[in-house]
Structure 1
Amino acid sequence: MEHKQTYYSRSLEFDGRSLFIEGPISGRKIHDYDFHEGLVAFRPPEEQKKALIGIADLPEGRINVVVDGNTIIGYVTFLYPDSLERWSEANMDNLLELGAIEIAREYRGAKIGKKILEFSMLDDAMEDYIIITTEYYWHWDLKGSGLSVWDYRKMMEKMMNAGGLEWMATDDPEISSHPANCLMVRIGNRVDPDSIVQFDAVRLSNRFFY
């Protein structure tokens, strides 16, 4: 599949000033931006910035960012599922994983996460893909948010719903290991029926053994 990259941008009001959502952006552009020191959910900020540059430069990689001045304060990534995950077994070039979404803590509360997901789906090319996200409670900022695991789960579901992702059942062992974990999926309107069957076979690979 040809991976089309149509650049989009829009402004976003926050605390009396304008932020900027843009993407998909290149690794070079990420390099030229500063990276907010509060983006620490996955690894130290400088290391995460390098990781995002690497994703942006992958053939299928897509990164959308929220920028305040010259500083990235939030981002979302889309790429092929990790080769160690069940989802890569589908061997589909039209299956993308929402790998990470993060907003610096001081910018939370303004629904920026929902807005960057809505923005991401403005790209017409997304209609060619099945997009998944795997939500694991151990990745959530329960301490920083002050939310219970179930309230955080509700918040994550609402945010993903803004990007058109809906809960789907799966027998993936890691997701099934805790009831708060979940798989969420968005099927683009140009995805062919055979691809959906292929995806379902991986999503519920043990269904005949129940």
Structure 2
Amino acid sequence: MEHRKRLQREQLSLGESRELILEGPVAPNRLAEMSMHKALDAFRRPLEQHIALVEIAGLDEGRIILAREGNVIVGYVTFHYADELERWSDGGMTDLIELGAIEVADDYRGCGLGKRMIELAFAEEQLENMIVFTTEYYWHWDLEGTKLNVWEYRKMMERLMQAVGMVWFATDDPEICSHPANCLMVKIGKEVPLSSVEHFDRVRFRQRFMY
């Protein structure tokens, strides 16, 4: 499977001679030269998360799309194969990739960075030969920081993913089924073969009666 990694870059003005650079997929050596904003701590401490991003960027299929002010990372999106302990890795599909973490530092929220980073990831049909999925779990959501309830946050995440053509898919995955706000969203690239789509259907449903 060809993993297309053509660097894309955009600029976003913040006024007062300040600007953000949105770019990716970023090479691991370039990523290692940057630093993480101290507020990027939703998943790990910023330094630990920085190390994790560099590791993901070094994977054959891994890609990091980020927003930075100067050399400071203020937001990022990760893409990688599913964890081998999760059902989504069943069968070792090389054209199934997970849109994993999305995080934006508090001071930079409200200017659509999440949406713009995801759109950049799909630019120039880089992912048209992949099935891209994301698993949304309410316990990962920043309900306190955003002051949204679980259904408002779910709607926000749906709109974010729909911006690049991702749609809701059914599944019998126990974690997703454990709460009605959780969901699986997917985009099947136009170059993905039917055999991969059928394989993904078998991964989504392990109980035959749910087809």
> Which TM-score band (shorter chain)?
over 0.9
Residue 157 (structure 2) aligns with: 156
CA distance in 1, matches of 2:86, 2:42: 21
| Residues 16-44 of structure 1, C-alpha deviations (whole Å, 9 max, x = no match) | 53211111011111110121001011000
Residue 125 (structure 2) aligns with: 124
Cα distance change of structure 1 residues 2 and 172 upon mapping to structure 2, 3 Å threshold: same
| Residues 107-147 of structure 1, C-alpha deviations (whole Å, 9 max, x = no match) | 11111111111111104230000000000000001111111
Structure 1: runs of 5+ lacking an equivalent: none
Structure 2: runs of 5+ lacking an equivalent: none
Cα distance change of structure 1 residues 126 and 106 upon mapping to structure 2, 3 Å threshold: same
Residue 179 (structure 2) aligns with: 178
CA distance in 1, matches of 2:15, 2:172: 43
How do 1:55-204 residues align onto structure 2 when only pairs under 5 Å count? 55-204=56-205
CA distance in 1, matches of 2:4, 2:153: 34
What is the CA distance between 1:206 and its match in structure 2?
Answer: 1.1
Say whether the 8 Å CA contact 1:90–1:199 is kept in structure 2.
no
Aligned letter for 1:56? A
| Residues 157-199 of structure 1, C-alpha deviations (whole Å, 9 max, x = no match) | 1111112211111110000000000000011110011110000
Structure 1, 17-26 or 145-154: larger mean CA deviation: 17-26
Once superposed, which parts of structure 1, at least 4 consecutive aligned residues long, lie more than 6 Å away?
A: none
CA distance in 2, matches of 1:75, 1:142: 19
Aligned letter for 2:94? D
Aligned partner of residue 126 in structure 2, secondary structure: helix
| Residues 58-112 of structure 1, C-alpha deviations (whole Å, 9 max, x = no match) | 1110111101111110000100010011100132000000011111011111111
What is the CA distance between 1:3 and its match in structure 2?
Answer: 1.8
Cα distance change of structure 1 residues 143 and 198 upon mapping to structure 2, 3 Å threshold: same
Aligned partner of residue 198 in structure 1, secondary structure: helix
Residue 9 (structure 2) aligns with: 9
Aligned letter for 1:184? M
CA distance in 2, matches of 1:40, 1:165: 26
Residue 30 (structure 2) aligns with: 29
Residue 49 (structure 1) aligns with: 50
Question: TM-score normalised to the size of structure 2?
Answer: 0.96
Aligned letter for 1:78? F
Cα distance change of structure 1 residues 208 and 8 upon mapping to structure 2, 3 Å threshold: same
Alignment RMSD, CA only?
Answer: 1.3
Aligned letter for 1:118? E
CA distance in 1, matches of 2:143, 2:15: 25
CA distance in 2, matches of 1:125, 1:175: 28
Cα distance change of structure 1 residues 31 and 5 upon mapping to structure 2, 3 Å threshold: same
Aligned letter for 1:2? E
CA distance in 1, matches of 2:149, 2:174: 23
Structure 1, 177-186 or 156-165: larger mean CA deviation: 156-165
CA distance in 2, matches of 1:176, 1:186: 20
